Protein backbone atom coordinates (compact mmCIF):
# COMPACT_ATOMS: atom_id res chain seq x y z
CA UNK A 1 0.00 0.00 0.00
CA UNK A 2 2.70 2.46 1.02
CA UNK A 3 4.79 1.50 -2.00
CA UNK A 4 1.90 2.30 -4.33
CA UNK A 5 1.32 5.66 -2.67
CA UNK A 6 5.02 6.49 -2.86
CA UNK A 7 5.00 5.63 -6.56
CA UNK A 8 2.25 8.17 -7.19
CA UNK A 9 3.12 10.70 -4.47
CA UNK A 10 4.21 13.28 -7.03
CA UNK A 11 0.89 13.04 -8.85
CA UNK A 12 -1.05 13.29 -5.58
CA UNK A 13 0.94 16.34 -4.52
CA UNK A 14 0.32 17.99 -7.88
CA UNK A 15 -3.40 17.29 -7.54
CA UNK A 16 -3.38 18.67 -4.00
CA UNK A 17 -1.78 21.91 -5.19
CA UNK A 18 -4.39 22.20 -7.94
CA UNK A 19 -7.12 21.69 -5.34
CA UNK A 20 -5.65 24.49 -3.22
CA UNK A 21 -5.36 26.75 -6.26
CA UNK A 22 -9.02 26.21 -7.15
CA UNK A 23 -10.21 26.63 -3.56
CA UNK A 24 -8.18 29.78 -2.84
CA UNK A 25 -9.06 31.34 -6.20
CA UNK A 26 -12.76 30.60 -5.73
CA UNK A 27 -12.83 31.91 -2.16
CA UNK A 28 -11.03 35.12 -3.08
CA UNK A 29 -13.21 35.63 -6.14
CA UNK A 30 -16.39 34.98 -4.20
CA UNK A 31 -15.25 37.24 -1.35
CA UNK A 32 -14.50 40.10 -3.74
CA UNK A 33 -17.97 39.83 -5.27
CA UNK A 34 -19.62 39.51 -1.85
CA UNK A 35 -17.84 42.57 -0.42
CA UNK A 36 -19.38 44.60 -3.26
CA UNK A 37 -22.84 43.02 -3.15
CA UNK A 38 -23.42 42.86 0.62
CA UNK A 39 -23.48 46.66 1.22
CA UNK A 40 -25.55 47.17 -1.94
CA UNK A 41 -28.03 44.57 -0.71
CA UNK A 42 -28.63 46.79 2.33
CA UNK A 43 -28.04 50.37 1.21
CA UNK A 44 -28.63 50.12 -2.54
CA UNK A 45 -31.72 51.18 -4.44
CA UNK A 46 -34.72 48.85 -4.16
CA UNK A 47 -34.22 47.61 -7.73
CA UNK A 48 -30.56 46.81 -7.02
CA UNK A 49 -31.47 45.04 -3.80
CA UNK A 50 -34.05 42.91 -5.59
CA UNK A 51 -31.53 41.90 -8.28
CA UNK A 52 -28.89 40.96 -5.70
CA UNK A 53 -31.29 38.95 -3.55
CA UNK A 54 -32.63 37.28 -6.69
CA UNK A 55 -29.09 36.24 -7.63
CA UNK A 56 -28.43 34.95 -4.12
CA UNK A 57 -31.67 32.97 -4.04
CA UNK A 58 -31.17 31.54 -7.53
CA UNK A 59 -27.58 30.39 -7.02
CA UNK A 60 -28.25 28.95 -3.57
CA UNK A 61 -31.08 26.93 -5.08
CA UNK A 62 -28.89 25.28 -7.73
CA UNK A 63 -26.59 22.27 -7.20
CA UNK A 64 -22.93 23.27 -7.46
CA UNK A 65 -22.39 20.55 -10.06
CA UNK A 66 -25.02 22.12 -12.31
CA UNK A 67 -23.36 25.54 -12.02
CA UNK A 68 -20.04 24.01 -13.07
CA UNK A 69 -21.64 22.41 -16.14
CA UNK A 70 -23.42 25.65 -17.05
CA UNK A 71 -20.22 27.69 -16.87
CA UNK A 72 -18.05 25.10 -18.60
CA UNK A 73 -20.35 24.26 -21.50
CA UNK A 74 -22.34 27.49 -21.57
CA UNK A 75 -19.14 29.55 -21.49
CA UNK A 76 -17.81 27.64 -24.47
CA UNK A 77 -21.01 28.30 -26.44
CA UNK A 78 -21.04 31.96 -25.45
CA UNK A 79 -17.39 32.63 -26.36
CA UNK A 80 -17.72 30.64 -29.59
CA UNK A 81 -20.68 32.78 -30.68
CA UNK A 82 -18.77 35.96 -29.88
CA UNK A 83 -15.50 34.92 -31.53
CA UNK A 84 -17.14 33.32 -34.56
CA UNK A 85 -14.95 30.25 -34.16
CA UNK A 86 -14.75 27.45 -31.61
CA UNK A 87 -13.39 28.60 -28.23
CA UNK A 88 -13.29 26.13 -25.34
CA UNK A 89 -13.31 27.23 -21.73
CA UNK A 90 -10.55 25.38 -19.88
CA UNK A 91 -11.48 23.31 -16.85
CA UNK A 92 -9.44 25.36 -14.37
CA UNK A 93 -11.02 28.69 -15.35
CA UNK A 94 -14.51 27.15 -15.41
CA UNK A 95 -13.99 25.57 -12.00
CA UNK A 96 -12.77 28.75 -10.33
CA UNK A 97 -15.47 30.88 -11.98
CA UNK A 98 -18.23 28.42 -11.05
CA UNK A 99 -17.24 28.05 -7.42
CA UNK A 100 -16.66 31.81 -7.15
CA UNK A 101 -20.23 32.43 -8.30
CA UNK A 102 -21.57 29.88 -5.81
CA UNK A 103 -19.38 31.14 -2.96
CA UNK A 104 -20.36 34.76 -3.65
CA UNK A 105 -24.04 33.95 -3.07
CA UNK A 106 -23.37 32.42 0.35
CA UNK A 107 -20.71 34.95 1.34
CA UNK A 108 -23.01 37.83 0.43
CA UNK A 109 -25.57 36.56 2.92
CA UNK A 110 -22.89 36.04 5.57
CA UNK A 111 -21.50 39.56 5.16
CA UNK A 112 -24.97 41.11 4.88
CA UNK A 113 -25.99 39.53 8.18
CA UNK A 114 -22.75 40.63 9.83
CA UNK A 115 -23.16 44.18 8.54
CA UNK A 116 -26.72 44.38 9.81
CA UNK A 117 -25.54 43.24 13.25
CA UNK A 118 -23.24 46.26 13.65
CA UNK A 119 -25.15 48.82 15.76
CA UNK A 120 -26.29 51.93 13.87
CA UNK A 121 -24.71 54.01 16.61
CA UNK A 122 -21.27 53.02 15.32
CA UNK A 123 -22.04 54.69 11.98
CA UNK A 124 -23.45 57.74 13.72
CA UNK A 125 -20.47 58.09 16.06
CA UNK A 126 -17.98 57.84 13.18
CA UNK A 127 -19.87 60.40 11.10
CA UNK A 128 -20.14 62.72 14.12
CA UNK A 129 -16.34 62.62 14.39
CA UNK A 130 -16.10 63.95 10.84
CA UNK A 131 -15.38 60.68 9.00
CA UNK A 132 -16.64 60.31 5.47
CA UNK A 133 -18.92 57.31 4.97
CA UNK A 134 -16.23 55.32 3.13
CA UNK A 135 -13.65 55.99 5.86
CA UNK A 136 -16.19 55.26 8.58
CA UNK A 137 -16.97 51.94 6.94
CA UNK A 138 -13.30 51.00 6.48
CA UNK A 139 -12.04 52.01 9.94
CA UNK A 140 -15.06 51.55 12.22
CA UNK A 141 -17.71 49.29 10.70
CA UNK A 142 -15.60 46.85 8.65
CA UNK A 143 -13.51 45.49 11.60
CA UNK A 144 -16.66 44.87 13.62
CA UNK A 145 -18.40 43.29 10.65
CA UNK A 146 -15.47 40.95 10.02
CA UNK A 147 -15.33 39.80 13.65
CA UNK A 148 -18.99 38.82 13.40
CA UNK A 149 -18.66 37.26 9.94
CA UNK A 150 -15.48 35.27 10.57
CA UNK A 151 -17.12 32.01 11.76
CA UNK A 152 -19.35 31.96 8.70
CA UNK A 153 -16.46 32.85 6.40
CA UNK A 154 -14.39 30.05 7.88
CA UNK A 155 -17.17 27.52 7.36
CA UNK A 156 -17.62 28.67 3.77
CA UNK A 157 -13.88 28.30 3.09
CA UNK A 158 -14.02 24.69 4.26
CA UNK A 159 -17.10 24.06 2.10
CA UNK A 160 -15.33 25.49 -0.97
CA UNK A 161 -12.25 23.39 -0.25
CA UNK A 162 -14.34 20.21 -0.35
CA UNK A 163 -16.46 21.37 -3.30
CA UNK A 164 -13.30 21.76 -5.37
CA UNK A 165 -13.45 17.98 -5.89
CA UNK A 166 -16.53 18.53 -8.10
CA UNK A 167 -14.42 20.27 -10.74
CA UNK A 168 -12.97 16.88 -11.70
CA UNK A 169 -16.18 16.20 -13.66
CA UNK A 170 -15.03 18.63 -16.37
CA UNK A 171 -11.58 17.06 -16.57
CA UNK A 172 -9.53 19.08 -14.10
CA UNK A 173 -6.92 16.82 -12.51
CA UNK A 174 -7.21 17.92 -8.89
CA UNK A 175 -6.61 15.70 -5.86
CA UNK A 176 -9.63 13.42 -6.20
CA UNK A 177 -9.12 12.97 -9.93
CA UNK A 178 -5.49 12.02 -9.38
CA UNK A 179 -6.55 9.61 -6.64
CA UNK A 180 -9.12 7.93 -8.87
CA UNK A 181 -6.60 7.52 -11.70
CA UNK A 182 -3.94 6.11 -9.35
CA UNK A 183 -6.47 3.77 -7.71
CA UNK A 184 -7.49 2.44 -11.11
CA UNK A 185 -3.92 1.94 -12.25
CA UNK A 186 -2.78 0.10 -9.12
CA UNK A 187 -6.09 -1.58 -8.14
CA UNK A 188 -5.63 -0.25 -4.60
CA UNK A 189 -8.47 2.24 -4.20
CA UNK A 190 -8.48 2.20 -0.39
CA UNK A 191 -4.84 3.30 -0.22
CA UNK A 192 -5.29 6.33 -2.45
CA UNK A 193 -8.65 7.38 -1.04
CA UNK A 194 -7.16 7.28 2.44
CA UNK A 195 -4.22 9.33 1.16
CA UNK A 196 -6.65 11.88 -0.31
CA UNK A 197 -8.53 11.97 2.99
CA UNK A 198 -5.25 12.65 4.81
CA UNK A 199 -4.56 15.63 2.52
CA UNK A 200 -8.03 17.07 3.13
CA UNK A 201 -7.89 16.55 6.89
CA UNK A 202 -4.47 18.20 7.03
CA UNK A 203 -5.51 21.35 5.19
CA UNK A 204 -8.84 21.65 7.02
CA UNK A 205 -7.09 21.25 10.37
CA UNK A 206 -4.49 23.86 9.46
CA UNK A 207 -7.22 26.21 8.17
CA UNK A 208 -9.24 25.80 11.37
CA UNK A 209 -6.18 26.64 13.46
CA UNK A 210 -5.48 29.80 11.45
CA UNK A 211 -9.12 30.88 11.64
CA UNK A 212 -9.26 30.40 15.40
CA UNK A 213 -6.03 32.39 15.80
CA UNK A 214 -7.38 35.23 13.65
CA UNK A 215 -10.72 35.17 15.45
CA UNK A 216 -8.92 35.37 18.80
CA UNK A 217 -7.07 38.49 17.63
CA UNK A 218 -10.18 40.12 16.18
CA UNK A 219 -12.22 39.56 19.33
CA UNK A 220 -9.49 40.46 21.85
CA UNK A 221 -11.31 43.70 22.69
CA UNK A 222 -14.33 41.69 23.88
CA UNK A 223 -12.25 39.93 26.52
| Ordered DSSP codes for the chain | -HHHHHHTHHHHHHHHHHHHHHHHHHHHHHHHHHHHHHHHHHHS-HHHHHHHHHHHHHHHTS-HHHHHHHHHHHHHHHHHHHHSS--PPPHHHHHHHHHHHHHHHHHHHHHHHHHHHS-HHHHHHHHHTT--HHHHIIIIIHHHHHHHHHHHHHHHHHHHHHHGGGGGGGT---HHHHHHHHHHHHT-HHHHHHHHHHHHHHHHHHHHHHHHHHHHHHTGGG-
**pLDDT for 81-108, tens place per residue?**
887 788 788 889 999 999 999 999 999 9
**What is residue 223's predicted lDDT score, i.e. its pLDDT?**
54
pTM here is 0.88
Confidence of residue 1 (pLDDT cuts 50, 70, 90): low
Which tens digit of pLDDT belongs to each residue from 99-157?
Answer: 999 999 999 999 999 988 888 777 777 778 778 877 887 777 777 888 888 889 999 99
Structure confidence by residue, pLDDT tens digits, 172-213: 888 998 888 888 888 888 888 898 999 999 999 999 898 888
CATH code for the part of the protein at 2-222: 1.10.3720.10
Amino acid sequence: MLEAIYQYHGQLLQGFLTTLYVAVGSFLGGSLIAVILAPLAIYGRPSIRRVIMGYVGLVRGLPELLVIFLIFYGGTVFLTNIAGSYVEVDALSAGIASLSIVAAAYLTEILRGALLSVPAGQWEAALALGFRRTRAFRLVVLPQMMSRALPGLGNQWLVILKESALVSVVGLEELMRKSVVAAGATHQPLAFYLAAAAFYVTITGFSTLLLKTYEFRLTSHLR
